[in-house]
Amino acid sequence: MKRPVRIIVLVILSLILLLLLSGWALPRFLKFKKPVSTHNILLESWISAFEIEQAVQEFGSDPENRFFLVGMEYPDDFEFPFALKDYNLVDENGIWLYTNSSLIIQLPDKPSYRKGDTLHVSIEAKGQQAGGEFAHFNVVVEGHIIGGNFTTENEQEYIFQYILPIEKFNSIAIRFNNDLGTEEADRNLNIGAVRVDDFVIFPRTASVEITREQNCKTTGYISLADEVADYLVKLGIDRARICIIRFNHEIRNKTREAALAFKNSSSLKNVDNINVVTSGIHSRRTWVTYRKVLGDNMDVGVVYFADSSIQTKVNIWNRNDYLTTFNEFLSYLANWITLFFLEN
């Protein structure tokens, strides 16, 4: 083999080896677990349903534990930016939602309502189980949640009543908010029919939109932290043990802004230690950020849970997983430089 050819082969082999080593080493570096002894638990509200449910199992049984939820405020405006054609399936049983999203049903030939009238809504729904929980949904009318429930494997009718604070409304939103996929099962939501007083809508044939757009009208909440707080209550956590901390949704660095919002919160009184619950490969960046922002007077720990979720499990042979991990490493480096050099 000629020398130039050998050099090219060595370079290619070296690059392949570097890729393999980085694929093996980066997840082990980025995943960092260092809990401290504390009754204060902070949840980053954008973690998966699996991680939220695991946090409840791990910390919920101790009545002295408090939960701090940091999350972005939702925008007030609402548009249909796109329909999720690849994330739902229409069949003879209705329409399936395969990811956290909102099914928006436009009401045809709306009846006349007056302020103070009672709206009667029933939802025929069923769900699939994963991680010990079935699919959960909320019903939203003009930005107001009128109720919600966990489903079962068999279709049931869920009935809700709501006293209208307004005279006119154009749509009903059904919000699927605990999507989860594991190696054994996939949690999805099926909507068979929706009845609004005397009007019956079948989503598989009616004019509907499905969107992942998160705002007040699609979720019924003013922030992601509020939405997760309500889910914690559904999982058995007393609302008095939950503190909600919101920050601007337009901020790019969510982790740093969440840490700053927590630092400036009035709820921080008498809190000198905290365990932050986050996602696996994001855990080292989270720990470094909170330690730097909160300073030496706060003992900061970090916790993540085993990757049972398909969405969070890292497979170095999967191109998307590899790119996600490498992107997190670059974000960690950029964040570290910002915290320790540019802001000093």
Rounded (10°) CA dihedral 285, 62, 130, 136: -100
**Contact at 8 Å (CB) between 245 and 69?**
yes
pTM of the complete model: 0.85
Architecture of domain 31-74+223-342: 3-Layer(aba) Sandwich (3.40)
The number of beta carbons lying within 10 Å of the beta carbon of residue 234 is 17
As a CATH number, domain 85-219 is 2.60.120.260
Alpha carbon of 309 to those of 186, 197, 212: distances in Å? 10, 39, 20
- Structural domain boundaries in the chain: 31-74+223-342, 85-219
- Same fold yes or no, 31-74+223-342 and 85-219: no
Separation between Cα atoms, residue 229 and residue 215, nearest integer Å: 16
**Contact at 8 Å (CB) between 184 and 131?**
no
Element (H, E) at 299: strand 299-303
What is the distance, to the nearest Å, from the Cα of residue 335 to the centroid of all Cα atoms in its chain?
22
Burial 39-49 (b: 16+ CB within 10 A, else e): ebbbbbbbbbb
Phi, psi angle pair for 206, to nearest 5°: -80, 170
Burial 171-184 (b: 16+ CB within 10 A, else e): bbbbbbbbbbbbee
Give me 279's structure tokens. 């996602």
pLDDT in 10s for each residue of the chain, 344 residues: 555 655 565 556 555 555 555 556 778 888 999 999 999 999 999 999 999 999 999 999 999 999 999 999 998 765 544 445 444 576 777 899 989 999 998 876 656 777 888 889 999 999 999 989 999 999 999 889 999 999 999 999 999 999 988 767 778 899 999 999 888 899 999 999 999 888 888 887 777 888 888 888 899 999 999 999 999 999 999 999 999 999 987 667 889 999 999 999 977 778 999 999 999 889 999 999 999 999 998 999 999 997 544 444 455 566 677 777 878 888 888 888 888 776 65
